[in-house]
Amino acid sequence: MTITNSNFELHAALKTPAELLRELGQRAKTLRLAQNLTQSGVASRAGISIGTLKRFEHTGEIQLNYLLRIALVLGRLEEFNALLCPQEVPKSLFEVPATPVVRQRGRRK
C-alpha cells in the first residue's frame, strides 16, 4: 500500500517527536536485520560504538552525523538528501513562478 504525502503528514502530525525517533530506530533495526548485519558489524562500519547503535535502535536517540553514517552503511543515505528540500523544483526557467523574496532572517520579538 502506497502512502501519499498528505496521509503521511497527517499520520506524522499525530505523533510526538519521541515516538517518531523510536520508530526511526526500529526501522533501522529492521533494515539491519533484513540485510543480515550484526549490531557490531554496522557499528564498526559506521565508526560508532555499539552502545550508540543499541541506544539508537531502542530509543531512537542519536546524533545526526551518526545517523547519517548508519544510513550510509544500510544503503539509505540518499533518502536524507530530500529531507528539507523545497517541495517544487521548476523544470525550466520559464516555469519559475513569481514568488516573493524568501526571508533570510526571522523577525525579532
In a domain, 56, yes or no: yes
Q: Into how many domains does the chain fold? A: 1
Cβ-based neighbour number of residue 103 at 10 Å: 7
In a domain, 33, yes or no: yes
Which pTM does this prediction carry? Answer: 0.68
The residues near 107 (Cβ < 8 Å, ≥ 6 apart) are none
Radius of gyration of the chain (CA): 18
In a domain, 61, yes or no: yes
In a domain, 90, yes or no: no
**pLDDT in the model for residue 3:** 46
In a domain, 107, yes or no: no
CATH number at residue 77: 1.10.260.40
Amino acid of residue 85: C
Task: Convert the pLDDT of each residue in 34-89 to its tens digit.
Answer: 999 999 999 999 999 999 999 999 999 999 999 999 999 999 999 888 788 777 66
Give the integer Cα–Cα distance in Å for 32 and 20: 18
Domain membership of residue 58 as a residue range = 17-83
